Amino acid sequence: MQIADLRIFLAVASAGSLSAAARQLDIGPMQVSRRIAVLEEELSVRLFHRTTRSVALTAEGEALLPHATTMVEAENSALGELRPSATKASGLLRLTAPSVFGQTIVLRLLPTLLEQHPELRIELDVSDRVVDIVGQGLDLAIRIATLGDSELVARRIAANPRVLVASPRYLQQRGRPRTLGDLEGHDCVVLQAVPRWPFVVDKGLQRIRVNARITTSNVATARSAAEQGLGLVMLTYWDVQQQLRDGTLLDIGLEDAAMEDLSVWAMTPTRRHVPTRVKVFLDALEQELARLR
């Protein structure tokens, strides 16, 4: 059975005549009659008693009525959930984001986003590991790194340069490094993923091994260690933007080296048929980062 034929069947049953159903559906009466005949042929039953002025359901038509209603309503529900709206997001948005960025930036977006889009649901994976978004069936990944070769579609959301920071207490006790050479005399908190610190020297990238007093796999742990005065740490701007604003960490600019420029990237599986829920989320994220910058 075709859903379109069931819609016509329901219209005829409701209107009580072929011509009234045709006007309701904005199609010709002959088309209504043909489609009802096709439906009766497929089911091998007569659905309507016909007179010159009206039609009435047969017993078989009465039996079909609730099933036809259920099938048409199911199709309407599916189309409403799957067909994108230009402004309203719905359904389940599945995304992954780095731990600190997810906890401090992404979570901040959700109350307003969910209030504006009550049909939207969020499944957020907060992790510093690189997730296979296609294999995991995710809509979106937020990444803060130099991008390698990938078949994913990348959209730049905001600048996110690396920054070298330390607590005021540490700098007061140990002094402020001025050059790359000064780093040799300082304790450092190092991420396992970045064992050598990258610096831009004479427009070229140099990776410097530092005195890793503490090594950790977690960005939040590295940041907390630096706040407690345990050493210098190199993170990205959005990992420490709040601490830089409130003064618990201070930016250290070296005289003979610059910091590596990175970006916040949004990775999606494809450019085609991007769900409204992804577009709405990314627009909100860009606005939030612009406001905080």
CA–CA gap between residue 39 and residue 172 (Å, rounded): 86
Residues 6+ apart with CB under 8 A from 264: 101, 142, 143, 144, 156, 157, 158, 159, 160, 238, 289
Q: Are strands 263-268 and 153-159 parallel, antiparallel or unpaired?
A: antiparallel
pLDDT of residue 83: 60
For range 73-85, the mean pLDDT: 68
Tens digit of each residue's pLDDT (9 = 90 or more) over 234-288: 999 999 999 999 999 999 999 999 999 899 999 988 777 788 889 999 999 999 8
Tens digit of each residue's pLDDT (9 = 90 or more) over 176-215: 999 999 999 999 999 998 999 999 999 899 999 999 999 9
Q: Which of 92, 257, 275 is nearest to 163 (CA)?
A: 257
Give yes or no for residue 71 having a pLDDT over 80: yes
Q: Catalogue the E-assigned strands of 127-275.
A: 140-144, 153-159, 162-166, 188-191, 196-201, 204-209, 212-216, 232-236, 250-251, 258-259, 263-268
Give yes or no for residue 174 having a pLDDT over 60: yes
Tens digit of each residue's pLDDT (9 = 90 or more) over 5-34: 999 999 999 888 888 889 888 899 899 999
What is the band of 74 on the pLDDT scale with cuts at 50, 70, 90?
confident
Predicted TM-score of the model (pTM) = 0.65
Give me the phi and psi of 233, to 5 degrees please. -140, 145
Is the separation of the CB atoms in 262 and 162 below 8 Å? yes
Is the separation of the CB atoms in 98 and 128 below 8 Å? yes
For range 39-59, the mean pLDDT: 88
Give yes or no for residue 76 having a pLDDT over 60: yes
Give me the phi and psi of 196, to 5 degrees please. -115, 130
pLDDT of residue 1: 77
Is the separation of the CB atoms in 136 and 107 below 8 Å? no
Kindly state the tokens that stand for 158.
């905001």
Q: Which of 98, 246, 262 is nearest to 167 (CA)?
A: 246
Residue 94 has, within 13 A of its CA and on its CB side, a CA count of: 10
Tens digit of each residue's pLDDT (9 = 90 or more) over 124-170: 999 888 778 877 888 899 998 766 656 788 899 999 999 999 999 99
Give yes or no for residue 52 having a pLDDT over 80: no
pLDDT of residue 87: 62
Tens digit of each residue's pLDDT (9 = 90 or more) over 82-135: 665 556 788 889 999 998 899 989 999 999 999 999 989 999 999 888 778 877
Give yes or no for residue 228 having a pLDDT over 80: yes
Give yes or no for residue 45 having a pLDDT over 90: yes
